[in-house]
Amino acid sequence: MSDLVTFGETMLRLSPPDERRLEDADEFEVLAGGAESNVAIAAQRLGMPATWLSKVPESPLGRRVVSELRGYGIDTDVVWSHRGRQGTYYLERAGTPRGTKVIYDRDDTAFATAEAREFDVDRVQNARVFFTTGITPALSSTLRDTTASMLKAARQGGTTTAFDFNYRRKLWSPEEAEETLTKLFPGIDVLVIAARDARSVLGFEGDPRQLAHKLGSQYEFETVVVTRGSEGAIGWHDSVVHEQGAYETDTVSKIGTGDAFTGAFIARRVSGDDVPTALEYAAATAALKRTIPGDVALVSEEEVEAVVSSGGEELSR
């Protein structure tokens, strides 16, 4: 049985090479991309056996996604569906001022029809941590119920629940997100949230330390992590606020940085680290992720430890 079970959709990610434009593309790089599987992989890499739970079309495209995730070392426990599409998205990379763009093509997916009763509740209840994100309930009304049911089942089984707020403006409005996600908050032990989402979706104000404290107090979370991109993160736990900076990186791909952070944080917390130490490992994992193409933190525990102990200097060859 895995220590961590995550639940979510992983899409086929199609992207032109380098910074080529979609409208001018002759080929697409094909990868699997999804926040919840990214978190599972990062945790597994830091030594926490992890399983990704999902519903996937029984098709070459569905198998393509699952095959890649298995190759990264996690367990995959999927409901194979004979109805519904495989979600895809198109990614166009660019720097300032163009900016990286994402086009979702994820309507009518198999995953959007996933109901809690299709999954083995024991998987969730025997895990130490259950994790999903705010993307999941944004995908369909069915998934709003499913998310709520699974968080409830986890809580009943004594499994810690962790949740990344992950607001996506291409999926729903801030108002819809707020209404849906705050309803889930009572069932969540550990909340990860970007400072900008706390402000623009939940309407909190103040500096990130204040945001963390207000969120933690108001909703009685066990732990709150407020992420701030290149400025690091804040951890709130037992009413104490801990600050963690971000390491310098030669960034190759930003995508998946937050998921690497979250997966590592969960793994280290479960292995017994206190919050400041877990934040440090999370920041180191995130930094390593940024040097790796693709969305996934293909790191080793030794590398993460080396970054922490060297304070982020380039590891020698």
Binding string, residues 265-284; x marks residues near a second copy by CB under 8 A: -------------------x
Among 47, 61, 178, 301, binds a second copy (CB under 8 A): 61
160-164 sheet: strands from edge to edge = 75-81, 50-57, 4-7, 129-133, 160-164, 190-194, 223-227, 233-237, 240-244
Among the listed residues 255, 298, 296, 261, the one whose alpha carbon sits nearest the alpha carbon of residue 279: 261
Q: What is the CA radius of gyration of the chain?
A: 18
| Residue 102 binds to a second copy (criterion: CB under 8 A) | yes
Interface with a second copy, residue 305, by CB under 8 A? no
Using CB under 8 A, which of 77, 79, 100, 148 touches a second copy?
A: 100
Please identify which of the residues 3, 189, 197, 259 carries the catalytic annotation: 259
- Identity of the residue numbered 206: G
Residue 238 binding a second copy, by CB under 8 A:
no
CA-to-CA dists, residue 231 to 15, 164, 189, 197, 274, angstroms: 28, 18, 25, 15, 21
Please report whether residue 314 would count as binding a second copy according to CB under 8 A: yes
Should residue 252 be labelled a site residue for a second copy when binding is judged by CB under 8 A?
A: yes
Contact 209, 250 (CB under 8 A): no
Q: Does 239 bind a second copy (CB under 8 A)?
A: no
Could you tell me the CA-to-CA distances from 114 to 94, 155, 228, 295 in Å, in that order?
34, 20, 32, 24
Q: Which of 79, 273, 298, 301 binds a second copy (CB under 8 A)?
A: 298
- Per-residue contact flags (x/-) with a second copy for residues 25 to 44, judged by CB under 8 A: xxxxxx--------------
* Residue 307 near a second copy by CB under 8 A: yes
- Is 259 assigned a catalytic role? yes
181 secondary structure, DSSP code: H
Q: Does 175 bind a second copy (CB under 8 A)?
A: no
Is 230 a binding residue for a second copy by CB under 8 A? The answer is: no
Largest CA distance in the chain: 53
The residue within the footprint of a second copy, chosen from 3, 9, 68, 189 (CB under 8 A), is: 68
Nearer to a second copy, 71 or 203 (CB): 71
Residue with tokens 């919050």: 275
Angular region, 215: left φ>0, alpha ψ -120 to 50, beta rest: alpha
Q: Nearest 5 degrees, angle CA 82-CA 65-CA 127?
A: 90
Minimum distance from residue 289 beta carbon to a second copy (Å): 9
Can you tell me which of 7, 72, 131, 167 binds a second copy, judged by CB under 8 A? 72
Active site residue ranges: 259
Question: Site residues (CB under 8 A) for a second copy?
Answer: 14, 18-30, 59-61, 63-64, 67-68, 70-73, 85, 88, 90, 92, 94-103, 105, 107-108, 247-252, 284, 287-288, 291-294, 298, 303, 307, 310, 312-317
